Amino acid sequence: MGVRKLIDNQAEVERLQAENASLLATIDRYQQQVENLRGSKYRLPKASKAKASKTDFARVVIPDVHGCKANAGAVSAFLSDLEQVNPKQIVLLGDLLDCGGFLALHHTMSYGEETTYTYEDDISAAIQFLDEVQKRAPRAEIHYIEGNHERRIETWCTTKALSMGSPKPELECEKLRELYAPEVVLDLDRRKINHYRNGKYYHGLPIPCTIKLGRMHFTHGISTAQNCAAVHVSKFNGNVCYGHSHRADSAIIRTVSQGVIGAWNPGTLSELQPLWRHTSPTNWSHGWGLQLIANNEDFMHINVPIYDGRSLLQNLTSRIG
């Protein structure tokens, strides 16, 4: 029995020695692989130096202003930024006018303050805003898309025309528009501002009052849902900039057919808590949009926030060496 046990022990020793030799060989192989990786000739690609083209330019996107319901601090901060940027293009996303009071036929006025509104006050505020925009960006080509608040004017004109009992109410409506329409009261022809009506189609697009500049669609807005940026990029299946919801927002997706596309809302320049939202505090925010456009139509969109009447754009850009 003693001899058998010695033989078994010897066999176990030899088995363990063989396993140990195999383990050492594996360690040697892995170590060699590590050494090979350390000696690899792969190098990170060198950063390319992009050269600005003479055709590269800046585009400024102005969200809802709402005439005499604008926020003075936000407007002042925006105008200061605008002067520094001096863009080649400006797009107004609509609701430059508020068109409240008697023009808001669907809205029941609940407060005495709302009855003090006049269309003349609204027009005056919008004119002053446009004057400042054109003064601070004199070379800019300007596009003005009507919003749902400008549509209140045409709704009012149409309602009045229908009440006259005319056999051709569309003619009566146009006569009223010749007196009250945004392009008339804001003198857009003289200003050489491109104007886009709610009831018209442009650039061959299938929805009204929407335009396309380069690779970007511009519209007042088709949704105010909580995730309305996602709604816009999904519906357009392309890049789109919009207003209407008054919330700074963005959504970036990648599709098989279009690649990477996005939707952006810069926020608003209007007051953040109107009377008609008295039971529902808003989550609106002040800001504007800056788009840097390359000569091949590639672009970068930046939502520039404004906090309590202060924009950080100039402070930050002045510190970049």
How far, in Å, are 21, 52, 217, 218 from residue 295 at the CA level? 65, 9, 18, 19
Q: What is the pTM of this model?
A: 0.84
d(CA 296, CA 18): 67
pLDDT at position 277, please? 85
pLDDT at position 32, please? 79
Q: Coil, strand or helix: which one is 254?
A: strand
pLDDT at position 9, please? 67
pLDDT digits (tens, 9 = 90+) for 272-311: 999 888 888 999 999 999 999 999 999 999 999 999 999 9
| Ranges in the chain, pLDDT < 50 | none
- Residues counted in the chain: 321
pLDDT at position 246, please? 97
pLDDT at position 45, please? 79
pLDDT at position 58, please? 95
Q: Is 34 left (phi over 0), alpha (psi -120 to 50) or beta?
A: alpha
Q: Domain locations in the chain? A: 57-319
Fold adopted by 57-319: Purple Acid Phosphatase; chain A, domain 2 (3.60.21)
pLDDT at position 213, please? 97
